[in-house]
A and B are shown apart, each in its own frame.
Chain A
Amino acid sequence: MDSQLDNLIRRLARLPGLGPRSARRAVLHLLQNRDRLMLPLAEDLGQVARNIRSCANCGNLDTGDICALCRDAQRDRQTICVVEDVGDLWAMERAAVYRGLYHVLGGTLSAIDGRGPSELNIDRLLTRAREQVGEVILALPATVEGQTTAHYLHEKLSPLSIEVTRLAHGVPVGGELDFLDDGTLAQALKARGRIGSQ
């Protein structure tokens, strides 16, 4: 195989959800649709890589320094929903059941993987929580790392006089928000409980 092609396939195969087999299929498909698909895709990739950045307030991905959600005056600024990554934020937005603000941690605590509190967007969350916030909802996955992170944040937030709640986990263990259907997510949000009161 040509080395340029081989490189492209190798890179694609490293993407989540893909592997060598699907990468080869994708590259063949792109080459068969160069003008309609491949070149526009290359252009989009370049544009997004240049323009999209993390919101300095919440960690969401957007074109501005402060994202559209954080600038939206219609949203309830008293409530912050903490999620693991932007994929989970998108899932909550797709479900259209939540009208507050978000905070994207950018991962969960894992000593084994060397991800500690300083590697996550936690200091900024504590700063935000000290400013005029009434409730922090921890919408973290039911995995070991997600729940350890929820415990950790609860401990850090509890000295502040705000309510800390978490999603009701009728959610399968290891299930991530991104894989939940909208109805389940709405239920989990409605049935959220104060931590320690279950």
Chain B
Amino acid sequence: MERQQVAPGRQAEAQLTSLSLRDFRNYADCRVTIGAPNVLLLGENGSGKTNLMEAVSLLAPGRGLRRARAEHLPRQDSGGEQWAVSAELLTAGEVIRVGTGVPADSDSGRRIMRRDGETVSQTEIGRLLSVSWLTPRMDGIFVDSPGARRRFLDRLVIAFDAAHIGRTNRYEKLLRERGALLAEGRADEAWFSAIEASLAESAIAVTAARQALIADLNAEAAAGWFDFPGVRLALDGTVEDWLAEGSALQAEDRFIAVARTRRMAGDTALAGPHSSDMNAVNSHTGAPAHLASTGQQKALLIAVVLAHARLQARRLGRPPLLLLDDVVAHLDVARRAALFEAVGAVGAQAWFSGTDHDDFEGLDAQSLSISADAGTASITQSEE
């Protein structure tokens, strides 16, 4: 069991020192300052703890921990489309103001991202900050649908490479284009082959990015850490097999040839990154995650998230923010202590949520009590 700091000699940091919410979910107007390494959100279920974590998750590229539609984010009673989340981020010894939301003077109604008062791209924000999360909904990820595992994997890639958002969107759009053309029954060979050539390029690019992340993560996760097991991830799929057998260009050619042959034979299905599956095994025992007990599955999932955080700390010089929603209550006392130690060792600011303060014995955290009154949340900050 390793006990050393992840990035020795270097203070790996990425911490929010304050957070403000306006007209977001059930928050009207709140501001908190954070004066401890971690944050603990305490409150009844339904009071708004997950909403607060969602707000933090939206500071990084992507659609946040609920993958919510834009219209669900503004506070209902506000009657408007606008909302805002902003924070002070301490990273590499510098305080940067980051924010996201739909501004009041927006005509498009689209969410924007800001850095120190300037509107910037998601990619630019992605260089400063990434956020990882574990929610109760992810508990069954190893037995859930392959789609949930692919989304999880793609988020792991995006933490290092925000361009992966565009890569996967592009691939999915091309799939829809091909589907629409097939549905129309147009036999325009040049059009099909234009779409399939682009599809092949993006299929290989998406797969290669996923595989590169898995290789790096496996190197990091194999040994296990604190009380959490070693994990090995693998990606299964047709394109993955082709890339194992030949070069990327050969895989592209095979993709194009198969798509055309199948289409000519009246078979509209296509294998690609949208049908790949990720599986996980315990690297010590070789036991597949989907056959493990619920408790072991949870430990494996935490192990993946911790390894990913360590990889970021090492590679990018900063850990992600970790949002651990309702995670602790289901761990035994030893695992809890191990988790608190592990997030400390990785240098990450972790946001925990729970209902009982006693579950967090030994955690150095700023406590925030959240309560909801008539549908509006308020936060009470305790001085520690």
Contacts and interface: CB of A to CB of B under 8 A. Distances in A.
B198 interface: yes
Most buried by A among B105, B178, B184, B198: B198
A174 B195 CA distance: 17
Contacts of A20: 107
Contacts of A116: 186, 188, 191
B194 A109 contact: yes
Nearest to A148: B194
Interface in A84-142: 109-112, 116-117
Contacts of B178: 111
Interface string B148-182: 00000000000000010010001001101110110
Interface in A131-157: 144, 147-152, 155-156
Interface in A20-57: 20-22
A111 B166 contact: no
A170 interface: no
Interface residues of A, number: 23
Contacts of A174: 166
B198 A18 contact: no
Interface residues of B, number: 23
B1 interface: no
Contact of A144 (B108, B170, B186, B188): B170
Most buried by B among A18, A20, A116: A116
A117 B191 contact: yes
A148 B177 contact: yes
Given A18-B107, A110-B177, A111-B177, A151 B170 contact: no
Contacts of A156: 190
Contacts of A17: 107
Nearest to A172: B121
Interface in B315-361: none
Contacts of A18: 107
B76 interface: no
B263 to A, nearest CB: 14
A152 B194 contact: yes
A116 to B, nearest CB: 7
B193 interface: yes
B292 interface: no
Given A20-B107, A21-B107, A22-B107, A144 B177 contact: yes
B190 A155 contact: yes
B191 A152 contact: yes
A20 B80 CA distance: 14
B197 interface: yes
A19 interface: yes
B120 to A, nearest CB: 13
A123 B145 CA distance: 46
A144 B201 CA distance: 11
A71 B178 CA distance: 40
B180 to A, nearest CB: 4
A19 B194 contact: no
Nearest to B201: A147
A173 interface: yes
Contact of B180 (A19, A112, A149, A150): A112
A153 to B, nearest CB: 8
13 contacts: A17-B107, A21-B105, A111-B181, A111-B184, A117-B190, A144-B173, A148-B194, A151-B194, A151-B195, A155-B193, A155-B194, A156-B190, A173-B166
Interface of B: 105, 107-108, 163, 166, 170, 173-174, 176-178, 180-181, 184, 186, 188, 190-191, 193-195, 197-198
3 smallest A-B Cβ distances: which pairs?
Answer: A19-B107, A151-B194, A111-B180
